[in-house]
Structure 1
Amino acid sequence: MSDHDLVPGLAPDTPADIPDEFQEHGAQRTLGGWALTLLTGAALAFSAYQLLVAAFSPLSSLVMRSLHVGFLLLLTFMLYPRVKRGAGMLRIPWYDWVMAVGSFALGCYQWVFEAALIQRSGDPTMTDLIVGALTIVLVFEAARRVLGYELPLLCGAFLAYGLFGEYLPEAIAHRPYAWSQIIDQVGFGTEGIYGIPTLVSATYIFLFILFGAFLEHAGMIRLFNSLALGLVGTAQGGPAKVAVISSGLMGTISGSGVANVLTVGQFTIPLMKRFGYSAVFAGAVEATASMGGQIMPPVMGAVAFIMAETLNVPYAAIVKAAVIPALLYYFTAFIMVHLEAGRAGLTGLRRDQVPNAWHALRDNWHLVLPLAALVWMLFHGFTPMFAGMVGLALTAILILGVALAARVSVQAFRYAFWLAVGLGAATFAKWGISPVLAMIALMVAACLFVPDGKKTLHTLRSSLVDGAKQALGVGIACAVVGVIIGVLSLTGAATTFAGFILQVGEKSLFLSLLLTMLVCLILGTGIPTIPNYIITASIAAPALLKLGVPLIVSHMFCFYFGIMADLTPPVALAAFAASSISKGSPTATGWKATQIAIAGYVVPFMAVYDPALMQQGDAGWFTVLEVSFKAVVAITLWAVTVVGHLRGPASWTERVLAFVAASLLVAAVPWTDGAGYALGAGVIGWNYWKARR
């Protein structure tokens, strides 16, 4: 039984027709004819360039970043219109062609004049300043088209601060800077638009976005849905549990919460509504589960790669810190939908309505190989770039191998398949990428001469094009937020805010954490997770470190609340996207999502007070298990508070006591832990005793 049999007419691999205001990024043009051909060619060139850079590193770091930004601007001005209406939605006006080609030419400036720019570093010519100023303006305009007005306005405020901050009150003023210094810092240096975020976007992030696009086109979404249906589809509240598990699995290959909503939600939200969940609750469950993809190893959101590069730690260290909180996050969503199903008396699907999970895995086991190889390599010392290349190559070999297998006997394919995968892994590990590229080229050539082989090549081309398009929002955000980093590093303004947090922290660490959380949530009302994290990590994380919070924990704290901002009204993009499918109220969906995702607001505080939750410090396995168990108990009690049900209905007195018990378990203090356990046990025991009566 396929997923389509459960909800007739529904295609879970096809994104929803989402209204513009609910999209994660701006409205894209609908092109045809030669304009579409040029756009496809540019996207393919972008993906080919990134793969070439990742495989052979033929360019210096700064040139690689500038060409990356050049490609981002080229595709952005071709794909995103100046306004979301009119003829500009169906064609590319002449001025967008000029900006597209001109911005790519500006991106090549660093490449053509690399030696001269190095020699006159810090002393730019008038031509340099004009090129730098135009590049900055074009990056701002691209960010406006892709991400909306909020982030460009915020970055513009920081740019204005760099230019005119000398006239502000003494407490926040800085010394005078000439406009040439600002442009040189922001437009050419490694702390501006070509800073660390752009470096990470041009290396790790693009590869993993492409990896996710390849797996999606290979059919990974269908496999995840089938596994989730087979595992929990028949349980109490099965459809909602399917949404949690399917979105969690999808999160292992995709770090975009809104993208997860638009893919998995096409299947899970109608399924939940069909079996009795309200439109608001169905949308909230999917939004909550999808946003967890950014913290779900092994392929977390783009922020994880930026964090690893910023902290100069292995990516595996970030994954290690994130794995327990990620599991707790999804446990929260799971227990919430379980209790809600019990409260509303909702049942699961019939056994004959769900596929067999084992059969689904048996028939599509090859799709798991690239993900398994990626996990193994990340935890065995390989760089994320190399691991991403291996995953991409294996996925391409699998897609091509499955297509060619249809033309040969089953037994012959088994030997050929294992030989191809084995050779791919062995040559990557020992001889490098060239033999693997030769193998893929041979398989591509073979597809030209077999029936339906061209469909497979079309799948590969679509994966490359979609990967390039999906990278635009992340890449443009990384580039424009470099303006903030450049101004902060030039003026030292971050020290002022950090000093304020330190002053508050001298009286109360909790108040400093609360202030940082509010800053993250407020910033998140208008800007994506990546710039949210970069800004707060640049300002608040150093202050938290001085207050005794471990380095990774302080950055993860900012990261988590940057994610939660996409669930928190008034601007909750993930909830709004889900509501456009569920047809429920966007605001009500957002508020319900914040209740379901309560762990996302509380676990970061627990990790600060007890870093063992993120496996930091000298804590052993027993300590890690102990604090994880405490978090599970606290989450269960919060779920009882929110839903008002456990084994049976919970009275308001029980809900208040459950909230108090959960709150006592947050702080790592022996007497509060003891009191929280005792009170929680009393609430749970009383509710079970009432239910048995």
Structure 2
Amino acid sequence: MADNEKIKYLTEAEQQELLEKYDPEAGTRKLTGVLGHIAFFGLLAFSLFQLYTAIFGVFTAQIQRTIHLGFALSLVFLLFPANRKKRQKGKFQIAWYDIILAILSIGVGAYWPLFFEDIVMNVGRLGVLDFAVGFMAILLVLEATRRAVGLPIMVIAILFIFYGIFGQYMPGFLAHRGLTLERLVQTMFFSTEGILGTPLAVSSTFIFLFLLFGSFLVRTGVGQYFNDLSTAIAGRRIGGPAKVAIFSSALQGTISGSSVANVVTSGAFTIPMMKNLGYKKEFAGAVEAAASTGGQLMPPVMGAAAFLMVEFIGNGITYWDIAKAAAIPAILYFSGIWIMTHFEAKRLGLRGLTQEEMPSKKEVFGKLYLLIPILAIILLLMMNITVTHAALYSIAISVLVGFINKDVRMKFIDIIYALVDGARTALAVAAATAAAGIIVGIVTKTGLGLKLANGLIDLSGGYLIPTLMLTMVAALILGMGSPTTANYVITSTIAAPAIILLGVPDLSAHLFVFYFGIIADITPPVALAAFAAAGVAGGEPIKTGIESSKLAIAAFIIPYIFVLSPQMLMIDTTWMEVAWVVLTAMAGMIAIGAGVIGYWMRGMNWLERVLAIIVGLLLIYPETVSDIIGISAFIVLLALQYLWKNDNHDSSKILENGQSIEKN
């Protein structure tokens, strides 16, 4: 494509269409009139309730969580139609049964607050009304999850319910006594082990506040600024737009809880630039998909899963411990994508952006203050300020920054809209965590987690590496089509116990399944982020998914490394050891990137590519002997690349993929 050809970017309508196609959370009804006002003020009230409890203290667990659930379910039924196809065709008329479901949801949300003392006094004995409300709560959660999150997680939850009820008919080690319907309802809604369990607890406190923080950040204009800053920093480099995509997606990941949303919002800007420069459609889409998915792995927010991890792991672990542990793997992940796009650009002879295509650096760097809220939340968490207070202070700082930014000048009405948008974003998360609570409740009551763990260990013969491989496959399957929060809850409940039983530290095990659950977003056949990127790029979805998986190869390697050697997670180590781990791992990613792409300083034949990947693996594994061997081999490979590059400098042919081909 000619350099001066006008780049065609996606319109806002086209972006929204793609979001609705691949991300169920994105498409809501466009209500008007009385119902529009009810939904608007309902969302506003939801945010105000959460802010009130964050400032003045939460209510009793069951009351806090059921009010949160009642808000979320009722608003889901008002805003998300039952038939997704009608939503895509623009038919937004609300059905009569949706109003009934919304009213029933309000009743479910009010039941615990109204009858708290009676329920507690009954000590698990359910009356007719109790049973009806609890059973209704289960059905409402399942339907709301289907609408707002998608079919996969609802199907998984239903399968677990059937497993709980019909356990006596299960084969082998999966068999259990089975739960009566009354016991199921009691567990799901009248205890803190089911719907009202830990996932919803975290949603009703920490996660909501951070989603609200992200909503306020968007109002400050930081979303567009991420693109401008990324372009200013990386745009002039070789293959500039691809590096802009990586940098921008890493920044977007600090406030985004969705890989697909990240792909469409930043990809609408970066993918057309990559195509214009000369990258193939599939590769351009793959860069954005891999980078956007990596945004969920990027501290400090990590798609809100970090807050769940604190509660699930326990043992005195703090949020900062998790953010710190996830830092080096996330840096290596994005470095791997950056390195491979660099080698691909060199292989194709692609340039960076011209000076005319670049934004004014003076203007861009003059707005660095827009990053203050993000830096503030990191510093506040480092100072061991509670997560709740860190989020509240950061929201206040975001308002101040939005007021200072002359391009937006945040007003009172913008604050109101930020509150409404934050609550709207939280609806799918609340539904997903409630459904995840059903899964956790069944696992707890039936002992399924331990049974599956023992089953995986038996299948692997009790060896760690085969167990890790089986756990990886389980996490990839369970993570398909699920949002980040529900994804982590499911994989950590079902897959993590197996490797913990083999002596792996809890944090390493949880991050292991978290990584592979997230990477399911770009792993065919159900690679929603890759498919969305293919929609932006106009490429073939499966090919885009395959390219994405190649670019994200670090995510398939690094979890094994930090399980085998927890120093990478900064567990029981020194800063000198951490610096050495980062240095050698970065060199390893260079070697692996060259091997995967087939180019370093020149084209590489298949033997060189295999050797480069092996050398990279030796360098990434943080162990003295492997480091010494890896460094020695790396220096030899680098020298050979340099010498052979110079020997062939004046030649018209180079050796690439084992064949002599004419230079372009």
Do Structure 1 and Structure 2 share a fold, with TM-score over 0.5?
A: yes
Task: Give, in angstroms, the shift of residue 6 of structure 1.
Answer: 9.1
Matches of 2:171 and 2:523 in 1, distance apart? Answer: 34
Matches of 1:13 and 1:229 in 2, distance apart? Answer: 24
Check 1:360–1:86 CA distance in 2 against 1; reply closer, same or farther (3 A cut).
closer
Task: Give, in angstroms, the shift of residue 45 of structure 1.
Answer: 1.3
| Contact 1:474–1:530 (CA under 8 A) maintained in structure 2 | yes
Q: Which residue of 2 aligns with 1:499?
A: 454
Q: Which residue of 2 aligns with 1:611?
A: 566
Q: Which residue of 1 aligns with 2:341?
A: 337
| Contact 1:19–1:580 (CA under 8 A) maintained in structure 2 | no
SS class of match (1:45): helix
Task: Give, in angstroms, the shift of residue 507 of structure 1.
Answer: 4.1
Check 1:58–1:147 CA distance in 2 against 1; reply closer, same or farther (3 A cut).
closer
- The letter of the residue matching 1:625 is A
Q: How does 1:130-209 map to 2 (within 5 A)?
A: 130-209=132-211
- After superposition, give the CA deviation of every residue in 1:499-526 in whole Å (9 maximum; x if it has no partner): 1233356642110110110000111224
Q: Which residue of 1 aligns with 2:382?
A: 379
Q: Which residue of 2 aligns with 1:475?
A: 430
- After superposition, give the CA deviation of every residue in 1:254-313 in whole Å (9 maximum; x if it has no partner): 232222112111211111111111211111111111111112122221211100122232
RMSD of the alignment, in Å?
Answer: 2.3
Q: Which residue of 2 aligns with 1:85?
A: 85
Q: Which residue of 1 aligns with 2:256?
A: 254
- After superposition, give the CA deviation of every residue in 1:492-551 in whole Å (9 maximum; x if it has no partner): 111111112333566421101101100001112243333332222123323322322112
SS class of match (1:124): coil
Q: Does 1:656 align with 2:660?
A: no
Task: Give, in angstroms, the shift of residue 690 of structure 1.
Answer: 1.6
SS class of match (1:17): helix
Matches of 1:361 and 1:594 in 2, distance apart? Answer: 34
Q: Which residue of 1 aligns with 2:659?
A: none
Q: Which residue of 2 aligns with 1:328?
A: 332
Q: Does 1:36 align with 2:36?
A: yes
Task: Give, in angstroms, the shift of residue 247 of structure 1.
Answer: 1.1
- The letter of the residue matching 2:213 is F
Q: Does 1:18 align with 2:21?
A: no
1:106 to 105, 108, 116: 108
- The letter of the residue matching 1:339 is F
TM-score, normalisation: structure 2: 0.92
1:361 to 348, 361, 365: 365
1:597 to 531, 536, 552: 552
Matches of 2:105 and 2:243 in 1, distance apart? Answer: 47
Q: Does 1:460 align with 2:436?
A: no
Task: Give, in angstroms, the shift of residue 176 of structure 1.
Answer: 3.8
Task: Give, in angstroms, the shift of residue 169 of structure 1.
Answer: 2.8
Matches of 1:14 and 1:579 in 2, distance apart? Answer: 13
Q: Which residue of 1 aligns with 2:635?
A: 681
Matches of 2:82 and 2:256 in 1, distance apart? Answer: 29
Q: Which residue of 1 aligns with 2:650?
A: none
- Of residues 222-231 and 251-260 in structure 1, the stretch that sits farther from structure 2 once superposed is 251-260
Matches of 1:250 and 1:113 in 2, distance apart? Answer: 43
| Contact 1:203–1:385 (CA under 8 A) maintained in structure 2 | yes
Q: Does 1:486 align with 2:441?
A: yes
Structure 1: gaps spanning 5 or more residues: 407-451
Q: Which residue of 1 aligns with 2:53?
A: 53
Check 1:115–1:369 CA distance in 2 against 1; reply closer, same or farther (3 A cut).
same
Matches of 1:398 and 1:288 in 2, distance apart? Answer: 31
Matches of 1:65 and 1:198 in 2, distance apart? Answer: 7
SS class of match (2:81): coil
- The letter of the residue matching 1:301 is G
- Of residues 379-388 and 79-88 in structure 1, the stretch that sits farther from structure 2 once superposed is 79-88
Matches of 1:370 and 1:481 in 2, distance apart? Answer: 31
Matches of 2:272 and 2:499 in 1, distance apart? Answer: 43
Check 1:669–1:588 CA distance in 2 against 1; reply closer, same or farther (3 A cut).
same
Task: Give, in angstroms, the shift of residue 659 of structure 1.
Answer: 2.1
- After superposition, give the CA deviation of every residue in 1:434-456 in whole Å (9 maximum; x if it has no partner): xxxxxxxxxxxxxxxxxx98x83
- After superposition, give the CA deviation of every residue in 1:157-209 in whole Å (9 maximum; x if it has no partner): 11111111012234221124321111100122111011111011111111111
- The letter of the residue matching 1:654 is E
| Contact 1:77–1:142 (CA under 8 A) maintained in structure 2 | yes
Matches of 1:187 and 1:222 in 2, distance apart? Answer: 43
Check 1:635–1:52 CA distance in 2 against 1; reply closer, same or farther (3 A cut).
same
- The letter of the residue matching 1:351 is Q
- After superposition, give the CA deviation of every residue in 1:536-574 in whole Å (9 maximum; x if it has no partner): 212332332232211211110011111101110111111
Task: Give, in angstroms, the shift of residue 148 of structure 1.
Answer: 2.2
Q: Which residue of 2 aligns with 1:236?
A: 238
- After superposition, give the CA deviation of every residue in 1:75-127 in whole Å (9 maximum; x if it has no partner): 11111111123489321111101101211221110111111111112212121
Matches of 2:555 and 2:510 in 1, distance apart? Answer: 15
SS class of match (1:481): helix
Q: How does 1:265-344 map to 2 (within 5 A)?
A: 265-312=267-314, 313-344=317-348
Task: Give, in angstroms, the shift of residue 634 of structure 1.
Answer: 2.1
- After superposition, give the CA deviation of every residue in 1:353-407 in whole Å (9 maximum; x if it has no partner): 2124353132x2332222222111100111111100111112123334557xx9x
Task: Give, in angstroms, the shift of residue 11 of structure 1.
Answer: 6.8
SS class of match (1:655): helix
- Of residues 677-686 and 124-133 in structure 1, the stretch that sits farther from structure 2 once superposed is 677-686
Task: Give, in angstroms, the shift of residue 145 of structure 1.
Answer: 1.2
Structure 2: gaps spanning 5 or more residues: 648-664
Matches of 2:379 and 2:598 in 1, distance apart? Answer: 42
SS class of match (2:25): coil
1:395 to 382, 398, 417: 398
Q: Which residue of 2 aligns with 1:444?
A: none
Matches of 1:326 and 1:672 in 2, distance apart? Answer: 22
Matches of 1:350 and 1:666 in 2, distance apart? Answer: 36
Please list every run of at least 4 consecutive aligned residues from structure 1 whose deviation after the TM superposition is greater than 6 angstroms. Answer: 8-14
Check 1:372–1:670 CA distance in 2 against 1; reply closer, same or farther (3 A cut).
closer
Matches of 1:13 and 1:285 in 2, distance apart? Answer: 23
Matches of 2:581 and 2:192 in 1, distance apart? Answer: 41
SS class of match (1:566): helix
Matches of 2:65 and 2:502 in 1, distance apart? Answer: 35
Matches of 2:333 and 2:115 in 1, distance apart? Answer: 49
Q: Does 1:116 align with 2:118?
A: yes
What percentage of aligned pairs have identical amino acids?
38
Matches of 1:488 and 1:477 in 2, distance apart? Answer: 17
Q: Which residue of 2 aligns with 1:524?
A: 479
TM-score, normalisation: structure 1: 0.88
- The letter of the residue matching 2:95 is P
Check 1:335–1:315 CA distance in 2 against 1; reply closer, same or farther (3 A cut).
same
Matches of 2:300 and 2:183 in 1, distance apart? Answer: 41
Matches of 1:7 and 1:43 in 2, distance apart? Answer: 38
- Of residues 251-260 and 138-147 in structure 1, the stretch that sits farther from structure 2 once superposed is 251-260
Q: Which residue of 2 aligns with 1:434?
A: none
| Contact 2:475–2:495 (CA under 8 A) maintained in structure 1 | no
- The letter of the residue matching 2:644 is K
Matches of 1:144 and 1:553 in 2, distance apart? Answer: 31
Check 1:622–1:13 CA distance in 2 against 1; reply closer, same or farther (3 A cut).
farther
| Contact 1:550–1:616 (CA under 8 A) maintained in structure 2 | no
Check 1:660–1:616 CA distance in 2 against 1; reply closer, same or farther (3 A cut).
same
Q: Which residue of 2 aligns with 1:226?
A: 228
2:501 to 535, 538, 546: 546
Matches of 2:460 and 2:638 in 1, distance apart? Answer: 36
Matches of 2:445 and 2:579 in 1, distance apart? Answer: 44
